[in-house]
């Protein structure tokens, strides 16, 4: 729960090659299921 939560927050800052799209989707939709979903719910 702590690892995934920190992952999106960190990736969201700097521009990543592929992580950017994944992080954006998670934060924007919050349904990616990487960890934001758990945090959101």
> Residue 41: what pLDDT?
47
What's this model's pTM, rounded to 2 decimal places? 0.13
pLDDT below 50 — which residues of the chain? 32, 41
* Lookup: tokens for 34: 């990487």
* Residue 8, phi then psi, degrees to nearest 5: -60, -45
Residues 21 and 41: their CA atoms lie apart, in Å, by 22
Dihedral sign for Cα atoms in the order 22, 26, 12, 1: negative
Residues 27 and 29: their CA atoms lie apart, in Å, by 6
């Amino acid at each position: 729960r702590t690892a995934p939560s920190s992952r999106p927050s960190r990736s969201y800052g700097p521009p990543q090659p592929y992580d950017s799209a994944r992080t954006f989707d998670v934060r924007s939709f919050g349904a990616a299921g990487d960890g934001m979903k758990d945090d959101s719910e």
